[in-house]
């Protein structure tokens, strides 16, 4: 232990020298000024320390760039530009230009009518009609001229407003800059390698270049009435779009024809799962199915859920949605079964192999974030329309949670338990079967539940590509704006979802 | 039966992606640890460890955290592969074994106990204990019988059907010990088994464990960071520092004759009363020229505690005997110095 003399907190003195040396190392140029400013900030206990950085006020964003305070740079570059645009509009913006032009035009036309009135008089006709027209036009021209004058007069106000804004922003920068710079100094003390410090000419040049490219163009575009078209819209080439789109279309068509066999067998596989479920749910007499569902609800989640289930089934049945609801359940069930059968092994693999997971993660992200409408199109191209393609679309959306949560659960298995099993001679298969999967099971179950809910939420969307079930009812109601049928069908979907969710959650909780 | 139970010779472990290169460089150039870290980005976990443990011995490996003791012991069942060196168990070279042979050895010859118990939370106590047998595909009736027996050994009758989380820390670790004993292994590896327990429970378990192992005649490698525990349990102690075995010896040898300052610092606070024996502090009887009439007598194996009891009632030194022969004397001065740890 080193010897430490204990000093009362009130007697501890600030070691200015060490601090100043550190600040000098950070600030580089003008170290003395920043040491004094930071000192003031450190001494201050008020809301806003009273320091004023003249360089920051005058140079503005350039100062921030030079010192590498980039957040400050962008913020005040934007604010100063607002002020400069106002100043520009006021100073050379030609505010009444369009009104003035109109006045000119009207005056010309009035003069034209006066000429016609003169000609008519010479020809011995009645010039009164032309004279009235000319007088009206002259009046309109006067109005336009007045508007133009008013706008011109307003220019001064705008100019003053812009100057005021600029002054406020400059003051703000002067007052605030040292505070922000002190924060950067504190950050620099923690991570000297990753924080900008001192004055760097590279930063200064970058800052000037940014200001020069951004500010003049923007101010020009906002203050000049007629800016060149190149500044208004990006010179996009329509041909590129057409060519790319048709190229893609050809590729997709070729792939669809080329892989027709593979795609058809996938559809056949999905259809067989769906058919099995459909036979079980619709082929079986409805009293049997209803009774089985209620009993399952009772066993899995208790009497309250069973009563709720019975009530929901009654609603569905009495409104004639029975068969179509069971079709929905079969669709969701088939999607969930396929998700689980593929997803859990994938999750186990991704949980064990970091490399595999790093490849899979962007794909999973894509599957979840891509709007369903986008992949409905290729699905139609490859798999056609109807229930099986609908199930495939559902799988794309529904599979990520079970994969992710299985992988998460696998990674969460404590290493020491795995090590113990290995130390007692377990093979990899025994380790997986006896330790990893049982310990990951709660997470896997959460994943399955999430997947079920995600699949349910796809029910309506897949009706767009010919999927049946309750989604079709909603879609039809939507097409004819049929409020009643739409609402009844919506409630039926809601009840189906709630019943499935309650039963599944209850079942998992028991384990 | 002449082969030692565990024999390590020249075991090195270098961690890092370029471990083999680093190992070659160490062999060729004799690099130090910081040099290895700088040149290859590799950490030397164990450095040239060699020792033999005869059958039935409790061999303690003592060191602070990060000294490589857990790493070292994991080489014995190849949970960690050595970078260099050989490991023999009962005369068989472990490092040359195929995966299935290795699994066989892990399941039958080695039992391991872990610091954090590492019980499976979803299995009952009995099924946890039976797991090594389950791996070996022992029938359920047989493994239940065996695990009930193992639980009886650690005094946990009546808890067979509980889940591990329902048991206290000390009881959980007893389950861990029962699991290690269940397959009746010749060798036990104990990785800081009692470190996470509170002192009173720890002491109870130490005594219980010592008695159990003495009865079952298990060769034990016992890792600890607590020298008191090592002295209490171990026949011999190896002291590790930064991956190197600094000293191997009995508790008395280490306490009376520490190999370097590091070990000396360690043993300073240890009570010598039960450790230091008469033959270490006695002076030869030949050179002694004082009155020895009516002197109390003690065997050379008597510890300081006993010698104090003998010499408290008299001013005459204690005469030390070996097989009935008088071989030395312990004066009061020597006794007091002995309590201090042999200071001259």
- Tens digits of per-residue pLDDT, B92-103? 888 888 888 888
Find the closest chain A residue to B103 by CA distance.
Answer: A425
B120 touches chain A (CB under 8 A): yes
- Assess if residue A192 is contained within a domain: yes
Q: Is the pLDDT of residue B171 over 60?
A: yes
Closest CA to A338 of A282, A264, A385, A388: A388
Residues A280 and A207 in one domain: no
Q: Best residue in B103, B128, B175, B183 to probe A by mutation, most A CBs within 10 Å?
A: B103
- Assess if residue A261 is contained within a domain: no
Name the domain boundary from A194, A210, A226: A226
Number of domains in chain A: 2
Give the domain extent around A156.
14-226
Whether residues B114 and A416 touch (CB distance < 8 A) is answered with yes
A residues 88-127 closer than 8 Å to B (CB): none
Whether residues B104 and A425 touch (CB distance < 8 A) is answered with yes
Tell me which chain A residues have a C-beta less than 8 angstroms from the C-beta of B115.
Answer: 416
Number of residues in chain A? 511
Name the domain boundary from A226, A252, A279: A226
- The pLDDT, as a whole number, for residue A209 is 92
> In this structure, what token pair is assigned to residue A409?
């659960």
Whether residues A423 and B110 touch (CB distance < 8 A) is answered with yes
B150 touches chain A (CB under 8 A): no
Q: Is the pLDDT of residue A2 over 70?
A: no
DSSP summary character for residue A234: -
How many CA atoms are closer than 13 Å to the CA of B128, on its beta-carbon side?
A: 29
Residues A411 and A332 in one domain: yes
- Assess if residue A244 is contained within a domain: no
Residue written as token pair 């990060």: B66
> In this structure, what token pair is assigned to residue A488?
């009844």
Q: Is the pLDDT of residue B170 over 90?
A: no
Residues A162 and A287 in one domain: no
Q: Are strands B325-330 and B283-284 parallel, antiparallel or unpaired?
A: antiparallel
A234-270 pLDDT, tens digit per residue, is 888 888 899 999 998 898 888 888 888 888 899 899 9
A74-122 pLDDT, tens digit per residue, is 999 999 988 988 888 887 777 777 788 888 888 888 888 888 888 888 8
Residues A294 and A211 in one domain: no
pLDDT band at A511 (very low <50, low <70, confident <90, very high): low
| pLDDT, averaged across chain A | 87
Domains, chain B, ordered by start: 56-72+97-267 (3.40.50.300), 278-340 (3.90.1280.20)
Name the domain boundary from A195, A211, A226: A226
Q: How far is B120 from chain A (nearest CA, A)?
A: 7
A48 touches chain B (CB under 8 A): no
- The pLDDT, as a whole number, for residue B326 is 82
CA distance B41 to B34: 9
Find the closest chain A residue to B133 by CA distance.
Answer: A424
- Assess if residue A246 is contained within a domain: no
Residue B89 · residue B8 · CB < 8 Å = no
Tell me which chain B residues have a C-beta less than 8 angstroms from the C-beta of A444.
Answer: none
B183 touches chain A (CB under 8 A): yes
- The pLDDT, as a whole number, for residue A57 is 87
Residues A441 and A358 in one domain: yes
Residue written as token pair 């993660």: A361
Within its chain, how far is the Cα of B242 from the centroid?
Answer: 18
Of B115, B121, B131, the CB nearest to A424: B131
The CATH number of whichever domain residue A475 belongs to comes to 1.10.3720.10
Of B108, B114, B136, the CB nearest to A420: B114
Q: Is the pLDDT of residue B268 over 80?
A: no
Whether the CA torsion B116, B119, B125, B126 is positive or negative: it is negative
- The pLDDT, as a whole number, for residue B265 is 82
CA distance A181 to A177: 6
B7 touches chain A (CB under 8 A): no
Residues A439 and A357 in one domain: yes
- Assess if residue A105 is contained within a domain: yes
A428 touches chain B (CB under 8 A): no
Residue B133 · residue B182 · CB < 8 Å = yes
ipTM, 2 dp: 0.81
Whether residues A419 and B118 touch (CB distance < 8 A) is answered with yes
B101 touches chain A (CB under 8 A): no
State the burial class of residue A106 (Cβ atoms within 10 Å of its Cβ: 0-12, 13-18, 19+): buried
Could you write out the DSSP letters of every residue in B75-101? TTTTSS--SEEEEEETTEEGGG--HHH
- The pLDDT, as a whole number, for residue A291 is 92
- Assess if residue A257 is contained within a domain: no
Q: How far is A411 from chain B (nearest CA, A)?
A: 16
Residues A291 and A222 in one domain: no
Mean pLDDT of A440-463: 89
Residues A290 and A378 in one domain: yes
A511 touches chain B (CB under 8 A): no
Q: Best residue in B76, B94, B118 to probe A by mutation, most A CBs within 10 Å?
A: B118
> In this structure, what token pair is assigned to residue B210?
């010592």
B214-252 pLDDT, tens digit per residue, is 888 888 899 988 888 888 888 888 888 888 888 888 888
- Assess if residue A7 is contained within a domain: no
Q: Regarding predicted confidence, which is higher, B18 or A208?
A: A208
Residues A412 and A503 in one domain: yes
- The pLDDT, as a whole number, for residue A293 is 92
Percentage, residues of chain A above pLDDT 90: 23
Whether residues A422 and B122 touch (CB distance < 8 A) is answered with no
Residues A67 and A194 in one domain: yes
Residue written as token pair 């069971």: A326
- Assess if residue A417 is contained within a domain: yes
Residues A214 and A307 in one domain: no
- The pLDDT, as a whole number, for residue B2 is 64
Mean pLDDT of A219-236: 76
Residues A341 and A406 in one domain: yes
């Amino acid at each position: 232990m080193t010897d430490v003399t204990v000093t009362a907190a009130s007697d501890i003195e600030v070691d200015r020298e060490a601090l100043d040396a550190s600040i000098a190392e950070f600030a580089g140029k003008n170290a003395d000024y920043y040491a004094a400013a930071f000192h003031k900030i450190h001494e201050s206990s008020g809301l806003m320390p009273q320091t004023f950085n003249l360089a920051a006020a005058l140079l503005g964003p350039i100062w921030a760039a030079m010192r590498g305070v980039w957040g400050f740079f962008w913020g005040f570059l934007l604010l100063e530009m607002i002020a400069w645009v106002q100043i520009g509009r006021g100073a050379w913006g030609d505010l009444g230009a369009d009104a003035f032009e109109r006045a000119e035009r009207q005056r010309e036309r009035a003069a034209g009518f006066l000429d016609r009135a003169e000609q008519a008089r010479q020809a011995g006709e009645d010039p009164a009609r032309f004279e009235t027209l000319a007088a009206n036009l002259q009046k309109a021209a006067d109005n336009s001229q007045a508007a133009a004058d008013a706008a011109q007069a307003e220019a001064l106000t705008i100019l003053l407003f812009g100057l005021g804004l600029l002054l406020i922003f400059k003051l703000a920068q002067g007052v605030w800059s040292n505070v922000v710079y002190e924060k950067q100094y504190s950050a620099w003390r923690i991570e000297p390698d990753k924080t900008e410090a001192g004055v760097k000419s590279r930063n200064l040049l970058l800052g000037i270049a940014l200001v020069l490219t951004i500010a003049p163009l923007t101010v020009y575009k906002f203050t000049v009435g007629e800016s060149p078209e190149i500044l208004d819209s990006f010179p996009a080439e329509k041909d590129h779009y057409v060519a790319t789109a048709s190229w893609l279309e050809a590729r997709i068509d070729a792939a669809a024809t080329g892989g027709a066999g593979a795609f058809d067998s996938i559809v056949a596989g999905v259809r067989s799962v769906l058919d099995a479920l459909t036979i079980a749910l619709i082929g079986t007499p409805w009293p049997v199915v209803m009774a089985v569902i209620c009993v399952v609800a009772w066993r899995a989640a208790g009497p309250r859920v069973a009563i709720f289930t019975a009530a929901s089934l009654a609603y569905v049945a009495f409104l004639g949605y029975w068969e179509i609801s069971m079709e929905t359940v079969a669709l969701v069930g088939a999607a969930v079964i396929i998700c689980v059968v593929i997803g859990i092994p994938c999750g186990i693999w991704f949980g064990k192999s970091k490399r595999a997971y790093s490849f899979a993660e962007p794909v999973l992200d894509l599957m979840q974030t891509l709007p369903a409408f986008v992949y409905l199109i290729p699905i139609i191209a490859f798999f056609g329309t109807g229930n099986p393609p609908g199930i495939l679309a559902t799988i794309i959306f529904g599979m990520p949670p079970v994969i992710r949560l299985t992988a998460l659960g696998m990674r969460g298995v404590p290493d020491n338990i795995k090590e113990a099993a290995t130390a007692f001679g377990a093979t990899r298969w025994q380790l997986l079967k006896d330790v990893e999967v049982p310990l990951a099971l709660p997470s896997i179950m959460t994943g399955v539940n999430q997947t079920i809910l995600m699949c349910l939420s796809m029910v309506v969307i897949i009706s767009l590509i010919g999927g049946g079930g309750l989604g079709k009812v909603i879609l039809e109601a939507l097409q004819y704006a049929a409020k009643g049928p739409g609402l009844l069908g919506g409630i039926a979907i809601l009840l189906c979802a709630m019943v499935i969710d309650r039963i599944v959650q209850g079942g998992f909780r028991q384990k | 039966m002449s082969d030692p139970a565990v024999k390590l010779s020249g075991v090195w472990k270098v961690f890092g992606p370029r471990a083999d290169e680093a190992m070659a460089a160490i062999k060729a150039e004799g690099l130090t640890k910081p040099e290895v870290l700088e040149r290859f980005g590799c950490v030397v976990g164990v450095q040239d460890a060699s020792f033999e443990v005869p059958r039935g011995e409790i061999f303690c490996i003592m060191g602070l955290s990060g000294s490589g003791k857990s790493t070292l012991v994991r080489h014995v069942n190849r949970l960690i592969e050595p970078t260099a060196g050989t490991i023999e168990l009962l005369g068989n070279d472990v490092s040359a074994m195929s995966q299935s042979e290795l699994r066989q050895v892990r399941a039958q010859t080695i039992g391991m106990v872990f610091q954090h118990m590492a019980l499976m939370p979803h299995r009952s106590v009995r099924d946890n204990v039976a797991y090594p047998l389950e791996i070996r595909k022992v029938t359920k009736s047989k493994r239940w019988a065996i695990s009930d027996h193992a639980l009886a050994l650690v005094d946990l009758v009546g808890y067979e059907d509980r889940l591990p989380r329902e048991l206290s820390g000390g009881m959980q670790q007893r389950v861990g010990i029962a699991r290690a004993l269940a397959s009746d292994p010749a060798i036990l590896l104990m990785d800081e088994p009692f470190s996470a327990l509170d002192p009173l429970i720890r002491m109870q378990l130490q005594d219980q464990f010592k008695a159990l192992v003495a009865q079952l005649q298990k060769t034990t490698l016992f890792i600890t960071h607590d020298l008191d525990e090592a002295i209490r349990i171990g026949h011999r102690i190896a002291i590790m520092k930064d991956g190197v075995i600094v000293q191997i010896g009995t508790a008395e040898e280490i306490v009376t004759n520490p190999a370097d300052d590091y070990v000396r610092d360690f043993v300073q606070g240890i009570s010598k009363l039960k450790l230091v024996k008469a033959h270490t502090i006695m002076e030869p009887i030949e050179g002694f020229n004082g009155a020895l009439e009516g002197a109390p007598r003690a065997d050379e194996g008597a510890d300081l505690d006993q010698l104090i009891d003998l010499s408290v009632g008299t001013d005459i030194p204690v005469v030390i005997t070996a097989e009935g022969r008088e071989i030395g004397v312990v004066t009061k001065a020597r006794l007091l110095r002995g309590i201090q740890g042999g200071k001259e």
